Amino acid sequence: MVANAQKSPSTPPLARAEAPPADTSAVRRVAGIVALVILAALLWEGAKAFASSVDYALPIAGATLDLTVFNDQQLPHLGAIANAFVQPAQRNGPPLYSELLSASAFTLQMAIGGFLMGGIIGFALAVIFAHSRFMQGGCLPYVVASQTVPILAIAPMIVIWLGRAGFQELAIPVIAAYLTFFPVVIYSLRGLTAVPPTALELMNSYAASKWETLVKLRLPNALPHIFTALKLSATASVVGAIIGELPSGIQQGLGIAILNFARSYTQSPERLWATIVMAGAVGIGFFVVIVILERLIVRWKRPEDG
Amino acid sequence: MGQKNVATVISIKNITKKFRGSDGEQVHAIDNINFDIVEGEFISLIGPSGCGKSTLLRMIADLIEPSEGTISVNGKSPRQARLDRDYGFVFQSPTLYDWRTVLQNVELPLEIMKYPKAKRRERAEEMLGLVELGSFVNKYPWQLSGGMQQRVSIARALAFEPTILLMDEPFGALDEMTRERMNNELLRIWTAIPHMTVVFVTHSIAEAVYLSDRVVVLSARPGRLATIIDVDLPRPRGPETRDLDQFFHLTSQVRHSLRGGVGDLSKVIE
């Protein structure tokens, strides 16, 4: 009897690669971040300890290197910064962290406003540029040029103009939007136009309209690019909101806190540092929210694409 | 697959195509080609690289326009036939949309053609069953092999029931074993859909002979019609067909016609 040796290729080559177990890579990533933070803290305190041990003067090749920047008035201990959060900023006032939290809430609100405004305007411009070479050629250089103008120079103008027009409260979001719309224009335009030619021919073969081609091909093709832009925009919007607060005269946000604590830096540097830590946390938090959104929306990518 | 009542489906008359190359020089891609394709026919266009076979297929599809001459598809201009969604097109690369699952990719033309949701799903599942990918509906394209991706693209091209299937070297990127399996798949699908006309561009002689009722041989630069070879191999065809004397005879006939033409034969794969 002859066995049926001819095994039919009934099992088709299945998925090329299994997704790597997500939790171990996430754990490793978090471990890496924690390790970096610990390393930075060790460097910080190590530099201070070393500078203190040589009495803030290091003789090198006949000259003396001044290390007073590492003393407690210039660079506070990390413990002092942490302690500053729970101490009241003013006599009998609330603890600093509660002041900073409400300042952060205000700044974040302004940043989100600017982020949305910049995102919508940036995306709309990209759609227009993607469909009109004339508009792209005529306007894109000005979009690029807009980013070479120092934001500090135009922020007061925006405050004054919008104040005259009666839209004072829009000034900070508009200043933030000025920084955030740019990456959205550039990355969205790239995503909308970098479409494989055959993918477009396919749409043509279905006699699809421009609108259908935009919605079913160009837009999803652009999404990964758009998220790259939104991640840049998220952090830029926080910076933009802080800068926007300075000329606005509004006393609620992180911008004013930074300005005030910078003035009293020599008395209590740890307060400014605490505020910087808070501002950084706001920016990182916003960034992480966008990353999570990206994970939820751009689900089709193969694991190695990252 | 007899052709009892021969109705012309695609008519190609005096087609010439010239275009400007990237160096600004005028390229004479196709020169005065004439032939007709009848209903239900499986016809292959074969020729060396640069003979304009893909260009000719794209002109039938109204993806590009001829410089001279006329093409009619189902008695209409190619443009009208495209607007009427008379044909499905299969590209050399599967051209699946990464962000859509297998099922959603097959549903794409049906969405554009405003099929109701339930009907879309039903058609897409039916077509994926036909290409034997019924259990992969929820996978994303990157999770499939190249051959499977191309089967999805065939299912997508057939989903809206076009009467004509235009295929541009669909199996050119596959290995020989997979290609032969796909050839059998394609014949099975073509047989399953009555009256469907297939225009198939290839540079594989064996593939052209194995699949076709007729093989149109083109010569290169400019692309001219060298000859049309009738393939009277019995159907249904299968692995044993490739062992027939007649099969060898026909492949060498195609090969000789290709040599008779002017062109770079090193680019022709058997």
Q: Which residues of B touch A8 (CB under 8 A)?
A: none
- Main-chain dihedrals φ then ψ at residue A300, nearest 5 degrees: -90, -5
Q: Which residues of A touch B81 (CB under 8 A)?
A: none
Residue of A206, A213, A301 to mutate, testing the B interface (most B Cβ within 10 Å of its Cβ): A206
pLDDT digits (tens, 9 = 90+) for B181-224: 899 989 999 999 889 999 999 999 999 999 999 999 998 878 88
CA dist B111 → A130, A299, B57 (Å): 24, 21, 25
Return the domain boundaries, chain A.
27-75, 88-305
CA of B168 vs chain A CAs: smallest distance (Å): 11
Please give the structure tokens belonging to residue B169: 């070297």
Return the domain boundaries, chain B.
1-86+164-171+195-270, 92-161
Chain A interface includes B218 (CB < 8 A): no
Q: List CB contacts of A135: < 8 A, sequence separation 6 or more.
A: A128, A129
CATH superfamily of B1-86+164-171+195-270: P-loop containing nucleotide triphosphate hydrolases (3.40.50.300)
pLDDT mean over B95-123: 95
Confidence of residue A199 (pLDDT cuts 50, 70, 90): very high
Q: Are the C-beta atoms of residues B40 and B197 closer than 8 Å to each other?
A: yes
> What local confidence, expressed as pLDDT, does residue B166 receive?
96
Region of poorest pLDDT, from A60-64, A104-108, A269-273, B246-250: A60-64
pLDDT mean over B152-179: 92
What is the rounded CA–CA span in Å between residue B80 and residue A269? 76
Residue A188 has pLDDT above 90, yes or no: yes
What is the rounded CA–CA span in Å between residue A19 and residue A152? 47
> What local confidence, expressed as pLDDT, does residue A12 receive?
43
Please give the structure tokens belonging to residue A31: 């471990």
Q: What is the pTM of this model?
A: 0.81
> What local confidence, expressed as pLDDT, does residue B5 receive?
59
> What local confidence, expressed as pLDDT, does residue A215 receive?
95
| Fold of the A88-305 domain | MetI-like fold (1.10.3720)
> What local confidence, expressed as pLDDT, does residue A22 receive?
56
Confidence of residue A69 (pLDDT cuts 50, 70, 90): confident
> Which residues are B37's β-sheet partners?
B10
**3-state secondary structure at position B152:** helix
CA of A223 vs chain B CAs: smallest distance (Å): 10
Identify the residue whose tokens are 């959205």: A184
